[in-house]
Chain A
Amino acid sequence: MTPDQARHLIEEALTQVAPDADLADLPPDTELRDDLGLDSLDFLRFVEILSERTGTPIAEDDYPHLATLASAIKFLAGR
C-alpha cells in the first residue's frame, strides 16, 4: 500500500467513525483520538475498518502506531 492509498483509507475510515469531523487538509501530526474527539469505541471501530479493508489483523499492541495521522500512514504503508 502506498502512503497515498493509506491516507485515503484512513480518511475513509474516519469519515465513517466521525462523520462530523472536518477531514480536509488534516496536518500530519493530527492526534486521531484527541484532535478528532474519538472515544474508545470510535477508535475500536476505526481499527476494525482498517483491519477489514486491509485484510490484515491489527493487534492491540499496534495501537500506538495509529496515534497520529502520519504514524498511521507509515504503519499501514509499511505492511
Chain B
Amino acid sequence: MAEFRMPALGADMDEGTVLEWLVKPGDQVHKGDVIAVIDTAKAAIDAESFCAGTVGQLLIGVGQTVPVGTVLATITESPAMPAAQPPPAGPAEHEEPERPPRPAAPPKRKPKRVPAGGGHPAAAISPLIRKRAHELGVDLAKLRGTGREGTVTRADVERAAAGQQAAALKPPSRAPSRVRATPRARRLAAELGVDLAGVTGTGPDGSVKEADVRRAVPAREAASAREAVQPAAAAAARSGAERALSMRQAIGRLMARSKREIPHYYVGNTVDMTKSLEWLHERNRELEVSERLVPAALLLKAAALAARQVPDVNGYWLDDQFSPAGAVHLGLVISLRGGGLLTPAIHHAADLGLAELMSQMRDLVIRARAGRLRSTELTDATITVTNLGDQGVESVFGVIYPPQVALVGFGKITERPVAVGGLIGVRPVVVTTLSADHRASDAMTGARYLAEISDLLQRPEEL
C-alpha cells in the first residue's frame, strides 16, 4: 500500500489545498499520471502519482487544506512486471516501499517492486487492520507480522504505533555526534521540518532512512491536519488578489530564510558571446521559426554542463553538510505576468540536446504562466538559473533557493567595446554571476564554475 501525500512543491511550501481529484477509488493509475490538482501559495499544480496501482481511498476532500506530508489518498501498488524485475537483492538494497511524492529520480525509472519490508503482499492484511494502521499512521509495509504465516495482526499495528509515538515524543537530543542518515532522508527531513535527531533509524548502524523520516511525521501532522481542515466552500483557487498576496508571502518567507541561513558569496564574469551568437544565427538561418533557438538555450546548457564539471555548486546543504546531487536538474526562474515567480526544473538538463532543452524551456514557461505545472517539476531543482537578459539589466546577483547552494544569473547580451589581441572591437557580451553558499564552497569554486561557463560558450558547437 502506498500513500499519496501532500507533496512539498518547493522549499517554500508548508501546506496545500486539494482543488480537485482527477481519480476516484478503484481507478487504475500509472506512475506520472496527474491524479489531483493542488493549490499552493504560488500556483495550482498538477500532482502526479509516484507509483502505479489502484486508487484506494481519497482521504482528503476537495477544498481541504492540509500540511505537507499529509496522506491524501492510498494507492494499492500493482506488482512490477516480471520482465522488469531486477534480480533479487538483499533487504538493504530494496527500494523503499513508499516512493516519495517528490521524485528525485529520473522519469525513466524502472517500475516499482512490490512492497519489500514485511515480505507479504498488502492484500493479505485485513481491511480492519489496515484501517486501524491508517488511523494510527502506521506503515504496514514496514511491519513484521506475528500472526499466522507472518500476517500482520492488530496487536502488531498497535505495538508499532506505540513505538512510533515514543520516538516522536522523544525530545530531540542535541548530541554532538552527527545523526547518521541517507541524503534522501536529510532532504526530506529538511522539507518536512523533522528533526533527524528525534528520528529512530532503522538502516545500517541505526542510520535514518527516508521511511524513518516519514514515520516520524504522522503523529505531528494528524493533530495539525484536524485543525487545518477548512470548509469545502474554499475549494476554488485563490482569487487574483489573494494569489498575489500569498505569492509575495511565500517568496518572502523563502528568501528571508535564505538570507538568514545562507552566507552568500558572489562572483561575476563578462563573457564574450561572439562565437555563440554567430553559431546560433547560422544554425537558425536554416530552421523553421518553431525550431529556432534563443541565446538563453545556450546559456542554460552551459550552466548545466558547468554544474556537472564543478559539482560543489550542484546539490543541497542539509544538516550541516553539503550533499552533492547526482544529476543536474536546472531550476528556471520564470516570472509570471501578474507578478511573482515560479522555479520549475528542467530535469537532466546537462544531458539534453539544445533543441530538446529549448523545447522544454518553452513548454515550462507556457505551462508556468498557464498554471499547469506538474508536481515533479517543482520539487527537485539542484541549482537554479535566473535569466534577466530580457528585462534589460546587465547583471543579476540572485538569492539562493534553499536547500540549494547556488544560483546562476545571466544579464542582457549587449554590445560593448572589448579589447581583443591588443585591439578594441565591439562585441556582444553577457555578464554571468554566481551567488553561492559559502558553507558549501569557496569563491575559488565559484570562479571556476563561471570560467567553465565562459569556456563552454566559446565552443557552442559542443553544447
Contacts and interface: CB of A to CB of B under 8 A. Distances in A.
Interface of A: 18-20, 33-34, 38-41, 44-45, 47-48, 51, 57-61
Contacts of B365: 41
Contacts, number: 38
In this complex, the interface size class of chain B, counting residues with CB under 8 Å from chain A, is 10 to 19
Contacts of B294: 40-41, 44
Contacts of A33: 390
Interface of B: 281, 284-285, 288-290, 292, 294-296, 337-338, 361-362, 365, 389-392
Nearest to A50: B289
Nearest to A39: B390
Nearest to A61: B285
Q: Determine the main DSSP class of B at the interface with A.
A: helix
Contacts of A34: 392
A51 B288 CA distance: 9
Contact of B284 (A18, A19, A39, A60): A60
B361 A57 contact: no
Contact of A47 (B285, B289, B295, B361): B289
B427 to A, nearest CB: 19
Contacts of B392: 34
Q: Determine the main DSSP class of A at the interface with B.
A: helix
Contacts of A59: 285
Given A39-B390, A60-B285, A19 B337 contact: yes
Pick from A20, A33, A39, A51 the residue with the most CB of B within 10 Å: A39
A60 B392 CA distance: 20
B289 A44 contact: yes
Contacts of A51: 288-289
Contacts of B390: 33, 38-40
Contacts of A60: 281, 284-285, 292
A48 B337 contact: no
B273 to A, nearest CB: 14
A58 B284 CA distance: 11
Nearest to B336: A20
A51 to B, nearest CB: 5
B14 to A, nearest CB: 30
Contacts of B281: 60
19 contacts: A18-B337, A19-B337, A20-B337, A20-B338, A33-B390, A38-B390, A40-B294, A40-B389, A40-B390, A41-B296, A41-B361, A44-B292, A44-B294, A44-B362, A47-B289, A51-B288, A59-B285, A60-B292, A61-B285
- Nearest 7 A/B pairs, CB to CB: A39-B390, A40-B294, A48-B289, A20-B337, A51-B289, A60-B284, A47-B289
A38 B285 CA distance: 22
Contacts of B362: 41, 44-45
A64 to B, nearest CB: 13
B385 to A, nearest CB: 14
Nearest to B364: A41
A38 B392 CA distance: 11
A60 B280 CA distance: 10
B288 A57 contact: yes
Nearest to A47: B289
Given A39-B391, A60-B292, 18 more contacts: A20-B337, A20-B338, A33-B390, A39-B390, A40-B295, A40-B296, A40-B390, A41-B294, A41-B296, A41-B361, A44-B289, A44-B362, A57-B288, A57-B289, A58-B289, A60-B284, A60-B285, A61-B285
